[in-house]
């Protein structure tokens, strides 16, 4: 089921084991030798939520504020007014002021961050595709899996275990810079990317936007950055993704553009 949501819009610019020590050392050795999946499975949702809250707060503080009366604020407000997404999703959207940076990321708590460079090169329908793609990573569990994997191997995880799994205490003593950097540049599999792309198609359709804008957004990224590696560290090969969507949708952007259906400004 779907609902129209009022999203929060603010524009800004960017296991502790009991027992003798030997047992703990042996377990650590097993984990380092290849039992990371077991360790990741022990990470609770509470830990993930606390990490997300602290990390997004740090990220927001380290980026500059865009004026509330800016064009970016107005465009984002227009895009998200009565936005229809899956019921139960809580999305918090902010825009980082970063001229020339065409990027976006999401955290599993529903925090989505867009960079102002997106708005400079894409029209509103294309930005909605990017937003839908990031929401897709949240809704499909991709961001939670990535965060769990990053946290599992972090120094913060060890610090939390050392403090009796006191996450708040560990966070207060930890810089978080490395974790925030990894979270904002999470690497997703090609399967995850296609799933998020198809989720974005669903979002734009449900909000009465032509899904061909999903393809034009990717083609713009391809034109800007090629296919050797996208500006989106977490979103590789935009050309291949565009072709996959064209096949799925049964369209060609070139044909649509020639017909005047879609502008590739």
Q: Are 182 and 95 in contact (CB under 8 A)?
A: no
Q: What pTM did the predictor assign?
A: 0.78
| pLDDT band at residue 4 under the 50/70/90 scheme | low
Tally of CA atoms within 13 A in the half-sphere of 227 that contains its CB: 9
pLDDT reported for residue 31: 37
| pLDDT band at residue 209 under the 50/70/90 scheme | very high
112-121, 139-148, 230-239: least confident range: 230-239
- The percent helix, strand, coil of the chain (3-state, each to 5) is 55, 10, 35
Query: What is the Cα–Cα distance from 115 to 241, expressed in whole angstroms?
Result: 21
Helix (H) or strand (E) holding 83: strand 83-86
By DSSP bridging, strand 2-5 and strand 104-106 are unpaired
Crossing angle (nearest 10°) for helices 177-184 and 45-61: 90
51-65, 82-96, 123-137: least confident range: 51-65
What tokens were used for 45? 């949702």
- The residues assigned a catalytic role are 134
Query: What number is the average pLDDT over the span 254-262?
Result: 53
Q: Which residues contact 184 (CB under 8 A, 6 or more apart)?
A: 59, 105, 113
Greatest mean pLDDT among 14-18, 63-67, 97-101, 232-236 lies in 97-101
pLDDT digit string, tens, across residues 175-203: 678 888 888 888 788 899 999 999 999 99
Q: Are 51 and 179 in contact (CB under 8 A)?
A: yes
Is the confidence at residue 257, as pLDDT, over 70?
no
Q: The tokens 């965060």 sit on which residue?
A: 147
Is the confidence at residue 238, as pLDDT, over 60?
yes
CB atoms within 10 A of CB 170: 23
User: Average model confidence (pLDDT) for the chain?
Assistant: 78
Task: Report the SS3 class of residue 151.
Answer: helix
Q: Are 89 and 138 in contact (CB under 8 A)?
A: yes
Is the confidence at residue 204, as pLDDT, over 50?
yes
pLDDT digit string, tens, across residues 118-153: 999 999 999 999 999 999 999 999 999 999 888 887
pLDDT reported for residue 213: 96
Please choose, from the candidates 11, 14, 141, 139, the residue with its C-alpha nearest in 3D space to the C-alpha of residue 80: 11
What tokens were used for 139? 């809704």
């Amino acid at each position: 089921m779907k609902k129209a949501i009022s999203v929060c819009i603010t524009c800004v610019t960017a296991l502790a084991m009991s027992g003798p020590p030997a047992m703990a050392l042996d377990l650590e050795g097993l984990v380092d030798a290849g039992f990371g999946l077991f360790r990741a499975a022990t990470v609770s949702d509470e830990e993930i939520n606390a990490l997300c809250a602290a990390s997004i707060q740090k990220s927001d503080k380290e980026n500059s504020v865009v004026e509330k009366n800016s064009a970016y604020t107005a465009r984002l407000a227009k895009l998200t007014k009565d936005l229809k997404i899956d019921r139960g999703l809580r999305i918090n959207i902010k825009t980082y002021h970063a001229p020339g940076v065409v990027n976006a990321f999401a955290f599993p708590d529903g925090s989505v961050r867009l960079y102002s460079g997106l708005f400079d090169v894409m029209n509103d329908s294309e930005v909605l595709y990017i937003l839908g793609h990031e929401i897709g990573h949240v809704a499909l569990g991709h961001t939670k899996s990535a965060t769990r994997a990053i946290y599992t191997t972090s120094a913060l995880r060890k610090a939390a275990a050392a403090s009796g799994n006191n996450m708040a205490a560990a966070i207060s003593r930890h810089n978080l810079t490395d974790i925030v950097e990894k979270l904002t540049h999470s690497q997703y599999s090609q399967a995850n990317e296609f799933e998020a792309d198809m989720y974005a198609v669903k979002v734009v359709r449900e909000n009465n936007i032509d899904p061909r804008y999903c393809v034009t957004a990717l083609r713009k990224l391809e034109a800007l950055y090629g296919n050797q590696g996208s500006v989106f560290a977490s979103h590789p090969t935009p050309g291949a993704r565009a072709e996959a969507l064209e096949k799925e949708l049964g369209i060609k952007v070139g044909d649509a553009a020639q017909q005047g259906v879609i502008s590739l400004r």
